[in-house]
A and B are shown apart, each in its own frame.
Chain A
């Protein structure tokens, strides 16, 4: 009952020996995530938190059978780490790092077009499948097992909405933080396609924000789905031309406004919540619960 990640996923962590990497590796282990390897060049051979560390991703994959990676490498090395994972044939890469130069991400995006690797992020909280573990930094205690798929461009907003869903008795199949950067590996639409195919997901909540046109692209796809989608868009009060924290959250010219996204989603028949507090009731209504 999940997309992208389940309890049999074998996770390697690049940048595991750094402060952030180590802290969150411990949390991932505490959530029963199957962390099989760490990768930090120069630290190969060490065992940290019971996890063997390797110098290269290729070696980690060969020795442990890792089939997913979480990246905690600092900004200037993170795009290289994404490409190293793709080169080593890792099918799923989740990049947590914030602040990667956008030209580096353009190069990584071009590289990924020639490799069968799915990238989540960068600048994202990762993903979690309640009851089975997590890849990334989401606080695991807020989740509850269930059948609601969740997709968001933001971190703490994800936690807010997930906490509301959990409090309303609406558990989650998988929660995916797709990231707040202008260039991200996976947008709303491919996540919706995965949830549509997942037999254990009944409905999907998507939290968009200003900037770009990924919500509009999702709106064009949603009418072909059999499952209901509930949406929320943040940044209704954001002024044009100002970067609202996330590098990707910026209204440029007439594109990327909250009003435009809400209109596109509503035109596709998607109920759009005015505030996050309405989301649980809207989900229940869509599912007749």
Chain B
């Protein structure tokens, strides 16, 4: 789950990492009031779930409260990579001398979180990783002890940072690793880690991703979830127990099991169609769930027809067929549906579909070709 910069900084603050004070504004007037409280030049930073805010104009400056209001007026409502800016973080402008990078990311190859440090901070770390990997110092975290302070300092020294950053940044990096584990993060980065003109070191920007699987034991972070900031359909599906991913085509796709659904998408593409979505109904779905899934997929205005591909084990073919029949009356009239049922209850399911005048495919390929043909004949 993505969270905003101001929320990530709140987590860092709780672990003793220095961050500059800041407040969130939803209107230009609020931004002006906050700037007046700080009584200093401020930065207005768009709070959206995408990177590259600076380049998109989502970070602006105001030397006076009036300028802060005008800057917030420009940033609020701005569209950044398809997301509308509804909130800005107002924070005093920093006197930064040098910028560095520190981060912790879950790494599947090492089966552990990996600590990453680079003296080339303030920019896209993925770009540094691609073009100059030698500038990044990496070390997998030992899950028995976490990151030790001496290990953190050594990494910063190895990255060529000045002694003041080795000392103060070491404590920050150790705390960041602790925060990563305690918050059930899958990514936690400070970019830039800033050395200030006055010799202090602080987190000038922060990004944290929370592991979706851990939200049940992180109720506070779960409450930070903002469905309107992400894809609303994907969020709603999750609440209904369905796994939905929006794609760009016009063939709606429903199946059971992630690998099977992914393979169905590939098969539809090979048959000349364009998948509109990925939807996994999971195992053991009843007719009611099937119906819900169909109505859900049909809400995407791009969808012209729907393919249902079920390999029955715990999921029963007749339940799936019943669900399709139940949904029929509520789907847009004339929208073609092709179902392919295999395994448990396939015979009963196909009979139900045939009685209702619905199309079915003998296998995934046949069903894919049928739905693509049906859509092109519309």
What residues of chain A have their CB less than 8 Å away from a CB belonging to chain B?
Answer: 75-76, 99-103, 105-107, 109-111, 137-139, 142, 152-160, 163, 180, 182-183, 207, 209-210, 212-213, 234-239, 242-249, 253-254, 274-277
The 10 tightest CB contacts between A and B, nearest first, are A154-B259, A245-B258, A156-B257, A157-B259, A110-B143, A156-B260, A101-B214, A109-B111, A139-B313, A182-B108
Q: Mark B269-286, 1 if CB is under 8 A from A, else 0.
A: 110000100101000000
Number of interface residues of B (CB under 8 A): 51
> In the complex, how many residue pairs between chain A and chain B have their CB atoms under 8 Å apart?
150
B91, CB-defined interface residue at 8 Å: no
The answer for the CA separation of A105 and B363 in the assembled complex, in Å, is 37
Ordered by A's residue number, 18 sampled pairs between the chains whose C-beta atoms are within 8 Å are A76-B216, A103-B184, A106-B112, A106-B113, A106-B143, A109-B143, A137-B314, A153-B259, A157-B260, A160-B311, A163-B311, A183-B106, A212-B109, A244-B262, A245-B259, A249-B262, A276-B263, A277-B365
A155 adjacent to B111 (CB under 8 Å): no
The answer for the CA separation of A245 and B280 in the assembled complex, in Å, is 7
A99 adjacent to B109 (CB under 8 Å): no
Closest Cβ of chain B to A182, distance in Å, is: 4
Residue of B nearest to A236 (CB): B266
Closest Cβ of chain A to B305, distance in Å, is: 17
B126, CB-defined interface residue at 8 Å: yes
The answer for the CA separation of A110 and B146 in the assembled complex, in Å, is 12
B266 adjacent to A103 (CB under 8 Å): no
B186, CB-defined interface residue at 8 Å: yes
Could you list 4 further interchain pairs (A-B, Cβ under 8 angstroms) beyond the known A156-B259, A244-B262? A103-B214, A157-B260, A209-B262, A247-B213
Closest Cβ of chain A to B250, distance in Å, is: 14
B247, CB-defined interface residue at 8 Å: yes
The answer for the CA separation of A138 and B278 in the assembled complex, in Å, is 23
Chain A residues with Cβ under 8 A from B280's Cβ?
Answer: 245
Closest Cβ of chain B to A239, distance in Å, is: 7
Closest Cβ of chain B to A37, distance in Å, is: 24
Chain B residues with Cβ under 8 A from A101's Cβ?
Answer: 184, 211, 213-214, 217
A237 adjacent to B265 (CB under 8 Å): yes
The answer for the CA separation of A76 and B214 in the assembled complex, in Å, is 8
B47, CB-defined interface residue at 8 Å: no
The answer for the CA separation of A167 and B126 in the assembled complex, in Å, is 47
Chain B residues with Cβ under 8 A from A154's Cβ?
Answer: 257-260, 262
A275 adjacent to B365 (CB under 8 Å): yes
Residue of A nearest to B274 (CB): A237
B14, CB-defined interface residue at 8 Å: no
Closest Cβ of chain A to B273, distance in Å, is: 10
B270 adjacent to A274 (CB under 8 Å): yes
Closest Cβ of chain A to B351, distance in Å, is: 21
Chain A residues with Cβ under 8 A from B217's Cβ?
Answer: 76, 101
Chain B residues with Cβ under 8 A from A153's Cβ?
Answer: 259
One of B245, B256, B268, B269 near A243 (C-beta < 8 A)? B245
What residues of chain B have their CB less than 8 Å away from a CB belonging to chain A?
Answer: 106, 108-109, 111-113, 126, 130, 141-144, 181, 184, 186, 211-214, 216-217, 243, 245, 247, 255-263, 265-270, 275, 278, 280, 311, 313-314, 342-344, 363-365
Chain B residues with Cβ under 8 A from A106's Cβ?
Answer: 106, 111-113, 141, 143
Closest Cβ of chain A to B366, distance in Å, is: 10
A238 adjacent to B262 (CB under 8 Å): yes
The answer for the CA separation of A254 and B130 in the assembled complex, in Å, is 10
The answer for the CA separation of A264 and B258 in the assembled complex, in Å, is 23
Chain A residues with Cβ under 8 A from B106's Cβ?
Answer: 102-103, 106, 182-183
A110 adjacent to B263 (CB under 8 Å): no
Residue of A nearest to B244 (CB): A245
A159 adjacent to B113 (CB under 8 Å): no
Chain B residues with Cβ under 8 A from A276's Cβ?
Answer: 263, 364
The answer for the CA separation of A274 and B267 in the assembled complex, in Å, is 9
The answer for the CA separation of A210 and B321 in the assembled complex, in Å, is 31
Closest Cβ of chain B to A286, distance in Å, is: 21
The answer for the CA separation of A111 and B144 in the assembled complex, in Å, is 8
Most buried by B among A160, A207, A238: A160
- CB within 8 Å for A245 and B265 given contacts A156-B257, A182-B108, A209-B259: no
Chain A residues with Cβ under 8 A from B267's Cβ?
Answer: 275
